[in-house]
A and B are shown apart, each in its own frame.
Chain A
C-alpha cells in the first residue's frame, strides 16, 4: 500500500510539472525560445494567491482565478517588453534575456515580500480520500491537481487541433513568414501563447503551494527547471509529450525519494534528462528533426 501512496503523490507532483511543462513546450513550439522565466511566473502566481486569500481574505477559488489572470498579464508583458524586441536575434541573446527576467522577478518578489518563508494555506478545503480501510490515503490536493492537469491537457489539445486560432498557432510554429502570408498576425499569436502558458503557470503556482505550502521568492525556480526537464523528456514542442514527461518525472522523483534516497532524488531526475538526451535527443514524443542542407 505504501507503494501506491508514493505513486499517487508522484502523479500529483507530476501533474504540477506537466502543467508547467505545457507552458514551456507551447512557448518553445511557437516562439522557438526557452522561457527560463516561466518558473518564476509560478512563484508570482503563488504570491498573488497568497496576498488575495490570506492578506485580503478573498475566497480561495476566486484568488486562484485572480492569480491565473495576473500571471497571464505578467506573461504577456514580459513577452512584449523583453522578448519581442529580440525577435530575429540570436537564440543565445533571447535565452540570456529570459534568465535576466527570471532574476528580475525573483528580486522584485524579494523586495516586496521579503526573504522570509510565507506559509501558504491550501486552497482546497476537503478531507482526504481514505481507501482500503484507511490504509491508502489520497489527499484532496492530489486528486484536484491530477484532474486539473488532465482537463487542461484535453482543452489545450482541442484548442490547438480544432480552432482557427489553434491552427494559426501551428502555422506560426512551422513557418512564421508563410503564416504572415495567410494574414495571421504572428506577434499576436506568440503573445497569445505566452498568455495561455502564463495563465497555466498561475494555476500551477496555486496547486504547487497548496501541496507544498511554503512560499519564497525562489519557490518557482526548481519546479520550473524540473518542468523543463519534463518537457524535454516528453519531446519539447509536444503537448501530450509535456504531460507524459511531467507525470513520469513526478513519479520517478517520488519513488526515488521513497526507495533510494531523498538527497539523491534530484540527481536521479537530472540523470534521466542526460540519459534521454543521449539516447533519444528529441524526447519520447518528439518528432525527428531532419536537417535540410
Chain B
C-alpha cells in the first residue's frame, strides 16, 4: 500500500532522514519506533506532503506522491493524526470533525461516518458543541483520531498518539488503534512508547538519527535482547 524508497530529507544543512526505505502492506499496523529526534515525525510529515524530500520515492497505491501537494492526498485516502494532536481549539468538536470530512461531498455519507465515530467515541458526542480547546488531553487525542477518520481513509499515519496521556487513556487509545485497524484501515504508527507500539504492531522499524537500524516482525523484535535493552527498559 505504501512504499518509501531511499528517502532523504534535509532541514537546511541538516540531513534529517538518511536513505530510509520501508513498506506498509494493506491491513497492517506498522510501527516506527525510536528516540526523540530520530526522525519519526519528519518521515510522517514527508509522507503526507507537509515536507518535501530532497530525494527518494513515496509510492502510495502504485503512485509516486512525492510531488503532490499535501492537501490533495486526503482525497486519495491518506489521513494523518499529527503529533501534539493539533486540533482546532477555537472551533467546536463537531466543526473539527466536519473539517475532517472537508474533501468529501456526500452529506449522507458524512453523517453516516459521524455516527460511527460518535459510537466509537461517545465522549465526543457528549461534548460535540464544546470548543475543542476545552477538552482534556485524552479527549483531544480522540478528537484528532475521529477527525482523521472522518475523511474515510484507507491509510492513517499516527504520530505519538499516547504522548502526554494518563496510563488509563494510553491503554484506551491503543485499544482504539487496534479497533480502527480491525475495521480495515491500515496504520503507520509512530511511538515513543515502544512496548505498547510493538504489542499491537505487525511490523516494526527502529529508527536512530535518521537511519533505519533494525526492522522485522513485532513478535520477533519484542524478544530481541538489544531492542529490549535500548527501547523496552528491561
Contacts and interface: CB of A to CB of B under 8 A. Distances in A.
A18 B186 CA distance: 50
B102 A184 contact: yes
A275 B103 CA distance: 46
Contacts of A183: 71-75, 102-103, 151
Interface string A164-177: 10011011001101
Contacts of A171: 88, 91, 99
A183 B90 CA distance: 19
B49 interface: yes
A186 B69 CA distance: 11
A155 interface: no
Contacts of B49: 180
Interface in A149-206: 164, 167-168, 170-171, 174-175, 177-186
Contact of A186 (B48, B71, B98, B103): B71
Nearest to A181: B80
A178 B147 CA distance: 11
Interface in B83-133: 86-91, 95, 98-100, 102-103
Given A182-B102, A183-B103, A177 B95 contact: no
Given A175-B88, A180-B70, A180-B71, A167 B82 contact: no
B71 A178 contact: no
Interface residues of A, number: 17
A170 B103 CA distance: 16
B90 A184 contact: no
Contact of B82 (A170, A177, A186): A177
A168 B50 contact: no
B88 A168 contact: no
B17 interface: no
B79 interface: yes
Select the residue from A167, A168, A178 with max chain B CB neighbours within 10 A.
A178
Contact of A181 (B79, B95, B98): B79
A167 B147 contact: no
B98 A167 contact: yes
Contacts of A180: 49-50, 69-71
B88 A181 contact: no
Nearest to A185: B71
Contact of B91 (A170, A181, A185): A170
A167 B95 contact: yes
A183 B80 CA distance: 11
Contact of A178 (B75, B82, B98): B82
A168 B74 CA distance: 15
Contact of A167 (B86, B99, B103): B99
Given A171-B99, A181-B70, A182-B147, 20 more contacts: A168-B102, A175-B86, A175-B88, A177-B82, A178-B82, A178-B87, A178-B88, A180-B50, A180-B69, A180-B70, A180-B71, A181-B80, A181-B82, A181-B148, A183-B72, A183-B73, A183-B74, A183-B151, A184-B99, A185-B69
Question: Ordered nearest first, which 3 A-B pairs have the shortest CB separation?
Answer: A183-B74, A183-B103, A178-B86
16 contacts: A170-B88, A170-B91, A171-B91, A174-B88, A175-B88, A177-B82, A177-B86, A180-B50, A180-B69, A181-B70, A181-B74, A181-B82, A182-B100, A183-B74, A183-B151, A185-B69
Interface of B: 48-50, 69-75, 79-80, 82, 86-91, 95, 98-100, 102-103, 147-148, 151
